Amino acid sequence: MVKIDKSSYIVLYVVALFLVWTADTQAASLYERSIAVVGYDTPTTTYTTKKAATQERSFDLFEHDKQVPIKLSMLSVSIRVNFSNTDVLGDAAPEEFGECDVAANFRLPWASWYSQSGWGSEIRLMTSAGALYGAGDTALVISLIPLLTFGSQDGSFTLDMGAGGALLSRHTFGTQDYGGYFQFALTAGVSIPLFKQLGVGYRYLHYSDAAIYGPHHTGADLHMLELNYRF
């Protein structure tokens, strides 16, 4: 059985603090937008109300003095722990690997397609940071993966798949060599609601160099349990 190095817990603690700070910033942003909805001025947008008369009736015309900047919106954060490394893609890994990390999902404001029922699809951005361990060695791993998602607009029911990249702080673990520090990352996952804003899910994650470092390197397949919180 693979043991998690103490340095892995330190890395996860630092990453968790960063994500909590990011979530707090996101909450402040949501508050400012709610104030704007009820008619108060915010730093990003103001409105001017004009009265116009048409056929002896008056109505309000609202004009934007400034455009609201397009920003990423954080949808959820999650803690993920590997529970199996059964090989699915590529050659069988000579070493046994595990991973524990913290991930965040961001909604892209220009890439969503939902019906009036609240179901549809969109493109999201998933980032993660954590520890990849195997053969007594531990590496910091950071990933950035665009996802094509299907499900409910609030993110409670989600099926997704995507491909992106990951950076490892080391690429040799015992007898296994990933080939280099950069790895391609393929993923697929599903999540369902658990209680209020909490959800649970499964994620498959595959690391591979796609032979860019040569034909004799092996990646890893990870099967992870996710506990997520939706904003």
pLDDT of 199 > 70? The answer is yes
Residue 164 CB burial class (10 angstroms; 0-12, 13-18, ≥19): middle
pLDDT of 100 > 60? The answer is yes
pLDDT of 209 > 80? The answer is yes
| pLDDT tens string 119-159 | 999 999 999 999 999 999 999 999 999 999 999 988 899 99
Answer whether residue 181 is part of any domain.
Answer: yes
Structure tokens at 21: 């700070």
Answer whether residue 208 is part of any domain.
Answer: yes
Answer whether residue 211 is part of any domain.
Answer: yes
| Span of 12-21, 42-51, 202-211 with lowest mean pLDDT | 42-51
Q: Which helix (H) or strand (E) holds 2?
A: none
Percentage of the residues of the chain whose pLDDT score is greater than 90: 58
**Which has the closest alpha carbon to 8: 101, 89, 87?**
101
Q: Residue 65 — pLDDT band, cuts 50, 70, 90?
A: very low
Task: Work out how many domains the chain is built from and give that number.
Answer: 1
pLDDT of 95 > 60? The answer is yes
Percentage of the residues of the chain whose pLDDT score is greater than 70: 69
Average pLDDT, integer, range 188-215? 95
> Distance (Å, rounded) from C-alpha 126 to C-alpha 123?
10
Domain that holds residue 205: 71-230
Answer whether residue 193 is part of any domain.
Answer: yes
Answer whether residue 177 is part of any domain.
Answer: yes
70 or 117, which is more confident? 117
Distance from the Cα of residue 223 to its chain's centroid: 17
| pLDDT tens string 170-198 | 999 999 999 999 999 999 999 999 999 99
98 or 36, which is more confident? 98
Q: Residue 32 — pLDDT band, cuts 50, 70, 90?
A: low
Answer whether residue 7 is part of any domain.
Answer: no
Greatest mean pLDDT among 57-61, 87-91, 182-186: 182-186
Whole-number pLDDT of residue 42: 42
Whole-number pLDDT of residue 2: 41
Query: Got the DSSP string for 53-91?
Result: EETTEEEEEEEESSPPPP--EEEEEEEEEEEE----SSS
Answer whether residue 190 is part of any domain.
Answer: yes
Is 96 within 8 Å of 137 (Cβ atoms)? no
Whole-number pLDDT of residue 90: 79
Answer whether residue 65 is part of any domain.
Answer: no
143 or 55, which is more confident? 143
pLDDT of 60 > 70? The answer is no
User: What CATH number is given to the structural domain containing 182?
Assistant: 2.40.160.20
Average pLDDT, integer, range 189-216? 95
